[in-house]
């Protein structure tokens, strides 16, 4: 493993440490179920264990880390039931957000969503696309839709749930054929949003997550 660059001390150092660990978890450098060696990581980052422990508390609150009494911190393992429950909640919250966006979105905001969707089309192309870029754009599309819907509490809950979902490393989109299916679902959703059809948008988003769950589990 290459040596990590030391972090500069600052008031919110633990937040930067949390982000470093978050990326290690998502990349599987820290695998699900693995013990987090606080001493080794603190030495790699050139920090004391105090900001590291604060960072672990942040990740524990997000569900990415599990704290075990007298045993330390472990990367959370997501069970099939955990994943099912996350998808079910995301379906409810994001379907509601899609319906709300139909009435709240300005023409400019709809165009921004359309631009993101067009980038998804390119990223999904077998010849010129990039799977990792599709993942990033897909997340950006959903985040933009949440922003448009205008409920910051819903957006926060969805953000936390998506962190847990990432522990499966985009499992649903890695299933053969699922990425193309997801793109088709986005096309239909985008059409409903442009027509400002709240009922259709709600139904299509719920189906989108239902199909994602079926692919992931």
Contact of 182 with 212, CB cutoff 8 Å? yes
Mean pLDDT computed over 169-189: 79
| 3-class secondary-structure state, position 65 | strand
Task: Indicate whether 132 pLDDT > 70.
Answer: yes
The structural domains of the chain, with segments of one domain joined by +, span: 13-75, 80-216
What tens digit of pLDDT does each residue of 95-114 get? 999 999 999 999 999 999 99
Task: Indicate whether 204 pLDDT > 60.
Answer: yes
Q: Which CATH superfamily is domain 80-216 in?
A: GntR ligand-binding domain-like (1.20.120.530)
CA distances to 12, 15, 56, 160 from 65, rounded to whole Å, are 20, 15, 7, 12
Other beta carbons within 10 Å of 202:
20
Task: Give the pTM.
Answer: 0.77
How far is 86 from 161, CA to CA, in rounded Å? 6
How far is 53 from 38, CA to CA, in rounded Å? 8
CA-based max dimension of the chain: 56
**Which pLDDT belongs to residue 19?**
92
Task: Indicate whether 169 pLDDT > 80.
Answer: no
Task: Indicate whether 11 pLDDT > 50.
Answer: no
How far is 137 from 103, CA to CA, in rounded Å? 23
Q: To the nearest whole number, what is the mean pLDDT of the chain?
A: 88
How confident is residue 148, by pLDDT bands cut at 50, 70 and 90? very high
Specify the CATH architecture of the domain 13-75: Orthogonal Bundle (1.10)
Task: Indicate whether 203 pLDDT > 60.
Answer: yes
Task: Indicate whether 74 pLDDT > 80.
Answer: yes
**Which pLDDT belongs to residue 12?**
84
Percent of the chain past pLDDT 90, that is, above it, reads: 64
**Which pLDDT belongs to residue 191?**
97
Topology alike, domains 13-75 and 80-216: no
- Residue of higher predicted confidence among 171 and 177: 177
Number of H helices, E strands in the chain: 10, 2
How confident is residue 28, by pLDDT bands cut at 50, 70 and 90? confident
What tens digit of pLDDT does each residue of 47-73 get? 999 999 999 999 998 889 999 988 899
């Amino acid at each position: 493993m290459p040596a990590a660059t030391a972090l500069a001390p600052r008031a919110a150092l633990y937040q930067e440490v949390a982000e470093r660990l978050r990326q290690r978890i998502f990349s599987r450098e820290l695998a699900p179920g693995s013990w987090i060696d606080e001493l080794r990581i603190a030495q790699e980052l050139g920090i004391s264990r105090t900001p590291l422990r604060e960072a672990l508390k942040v990740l524990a609150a997000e569900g990415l880390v599990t704290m075990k009494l007298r045993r330390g911190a472990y990367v959370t393992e997501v069970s099939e039931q955990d994943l099912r429950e996350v998808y079910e909640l995301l379906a409810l919250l994001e379907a509601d957000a899609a319906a709300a966006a139909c009435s709240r979105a300005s023409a400019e905001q709809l165009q921004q969503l359309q631009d993101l969707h067009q980038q998804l089309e390119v990223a999904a192309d077998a010849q010129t696309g990039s799977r990792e870029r599709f993942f990033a754009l897909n997340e950006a599309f959903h985040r933009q839709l949440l922003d448009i819907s205008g409920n910051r509490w819903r957006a926060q809950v969805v953000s936390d749930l998506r962190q847990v979902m990432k522990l499966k490393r985009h499992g649903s989109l890695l299933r053969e054929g699922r990425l193309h299916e997801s793109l088709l679902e986005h096309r239909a959703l985008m059409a409903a949003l442009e027509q400002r059809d709240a009922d259709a948008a709600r139904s299509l988003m719920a189906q989108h997550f239902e199909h994602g769950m079926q692919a992931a589990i």
